[in-house]
Each structure stands twice: as structure tokens, then as C-alpha cells.
Amino acid sequence: MVLAIAAGLVLNAMRDSIVFFSTPQMVAEKQIPVGKRFRLGGMVEQGSLVRGDNLAVSFKVSDGGATLPVNYKGILPDLFREGQGVVAEGALDASGVFKADTVLAKHDENYMPKEVADALKKQGRWQEGADGKPVMSQGASSAKPSLTQ
């Protein structure tokens, strides 16, 4: 009995840590405190990447429901692109910007974090072809989800 209670308390304390990453919508809902480290996952918003001096970059991560600005200083992975999946590790600052110290890019053209795909489907902003893969938007060179307006 005591062991079951102890296991329950440990699992309850770790419930936020078990999730591989939080989407911008989850961050807004959880009201994650400033300075608390977590992983942020989603899609790099088209047109949001801004390169600064000394390897500083800023971009926005979106899950289709919410968007979170990200600042990072360092070398981005070779596969990092706008419109692609990303997971960043870091913490929110007092102004609500996610300060990343690590950025991980997707490695496969058809990959999108499951949580992001699920969020897009929930909002009706995801379209799949007959093969179950995201529909390519017009003029696109790789498989990307087609977002409806």
C-alpha cells in the first residue's frame, strides 16, 4: 500500500517531465513559469527566421493554435528550415520569449511531431492525401501539411 502511494506521488510529480515536449498551445494553457526549463516543439513558422550578429537567430514556433517566439544563439542544425518540425530546449524569459540553448531539427521529409499533427487535425487545419501523408501545397518541393485559412 505504501509503495503504491509512493509510486503515485512520484508519477504525479513527474507528469510534466514525461512529455517529450510542449507545443505553444500547451505552454499557454499550462502557464509555464519564467525560467522553468522545458522542450518546445512545433513547426518553424514561414517567414519568421531572422538572423542577427554572432550566430544569434530568432524565429517563431507554431502548432496551428498558438505561436511562440524563440531566440537562440548558436549554429542551427543543417536540416533547420522554415515550415519544418523543430524541438528546442530552454526556458521562457520575463517577456514571454523562449530562450533556447539547444535546437533540434527533424530528420525526415515526412516527419512532423505527433502532438503537432494531432493539434492541426483537431483544428481542422490538416489535410491528408489517400496515402495518409500530408498533402503537398501548390509549388512546394517537399511534403508539408496543407493548412487551410
Q: What is the per-residue pLDDT across 40-96, written as a single tens digit (0 to 9) for each?
A: 999 999 999 999 999 999 999 999 889 999 999 999 998 899 988 899 999 999 999
Q: What is the pLDDT of residue 136?
A: 34
Q: What is the pLDDT of residue 92?
A: 96
Q: Does residue 121 surpass a pLDDT of 90? A: no
Q: Does residue 2 surpass a pLDDT of 90? A: no
Region 123-137: mean pLDDT is 53
Q: What is the pLDDT of residue 135?
A: 45
- In the block, residue with C-alpha cell 519544418: 84
Instruction: Provide the 3-class DSSP secondary structure of residue 24.
Output: helix
The cell numbers describing 32, all together, are 509555464
Closest to 116 measured CA to CA, from 134, 90, 138, 95: 134
Q: What is the pLDDT of residue 45?
A: 94
CA distance 131 to 32: 38
CA distance 115 to 127: 16
Query: pTM higher than 0.85 for the full model?
Result: no
- In the block, residue with C-alpha cell 554572432: 54
Closest to 61 measured CA to CA, from 78, 49, 73, 52: 49
Q: Does residue 16 surpass a pLDDT of 70? A: no
Closest to 126 measured CA to CA, from 110, 145, 149: 145
* CATH architecture classification, 21-109: Beta Barrel (2.40)
Are 112 and 118 in contact, with CB atoms under 8 Å apart? no
C-alpha Rg value of the chain to the nearest Å: 17
The cell numbers describing 3, all together, are 509503495
Q: What is the pLDDT of residue 114?
A: 66
Phi, psi dihedral angles at 85 (to 5 degrees)? -70, 145
Share of the chain above pLDDT 90, in %: 46
